[in-house]
A and B are shown apart, each in its own frame.
Chain A
Amino acid sequence: SQQGEEDPQALSIQEGENATMNCSYKTSINNLQWYRQNSGRGLVHLILIRSNEREKHSGRLRVTLDTSKKSSSLLITASRAADTASYFCATDAPGAQKLVFGQGTRLTINP
């Protein structure tokens, strides 16, 4: 069952620009998580935001959560070539016993 859906599916920007990815979901959640995956590797956890939080920061990353719109956004500021990866949102819904991952946004940073 698909809960989180990322938008856009692919994003290509110049190094130094900001990148924004969005995630929409269908049901209420306990928390929403963002992960990064470099090609052919495992996922790396970036940020977890709980349903009672609206914004969280971690270095150049900023995540917002709007539970009324059932959406979240991930902003990467001052992008670098090393940020090239796929980014996934995952939702933890009450009683679901598992995370549900979206299809991901493939981000390419051009030098």
Chain B
Amino acid sequence: DGGITQSPKYLFRKEGQNVTLSCEQNLNHDAMYWYRQDPGQGLRLIYYSQIVNDFQKGDIAEGYSVSREKKESFPLTVTSAQKNPTAFYLCASSIDRENEQYFGPGTRLTVT
């Protein structure tokens, strides 16, 4: 899991509530990413950030929001607008876009 931490490991929320997932890295990486993984599936990109104070939507950004106020931190908020929020969420970072990504251990979010 390298120098990336995600908390908490498991998260339970009621439908209609916003929830924020934490992602912190101490690798001094410029780029950070959020992915969603559903059972038996690959990873789908939610948001990514190449540099502090800048981020772009990925393939499935609807119902999610992010901020990148510090190089080390890239929190993801799952809003009540996300229709199917129950999933495994993975954060990653890399030196830059062209190099390998380092992943955190993931947060499993369950919304009921």
Contact = CB atoms under 8 A, between A and B. Distances in A.
A98 B58 contact: yes
Instruction: Give the residue among B6, B101, B106 with the most A Cβ atoms within 10 A.
Output: B101
A25 interface: no
Given A1-B59, A42-B106, A45-B102, A92 B42 contact: no
A33 B100 contact: yes
Nearest to A41: B105
Nearest to B59: A1
Given A40-B106, A88-B43, A45 B101 contact: yes
B15 to A, nearest CB: 24
A99 B101 contact: yes
Interface string A36-71: 000011111100100000000000000000000000
B100 A48 contact: yes
B103 interface: yes
B94 to A, nearest CB: 9
Contacts of A41: 1, 105-106
A104 B101 CA distance: 17
Contacts of A48: 99-100
A33 B108 CA distance: 25
A31 B98 contact: yes
A42 B97 contact: no
A103 interface: yes
A43 B98 contact: no
Given A1-B59, A43-B103, A103 B48 contact: no
A-B residue pairs, 6 tightest by C-beta? A42-B103, A45-B100, A101-B43, A101-B42, A43-B103, A103-B42
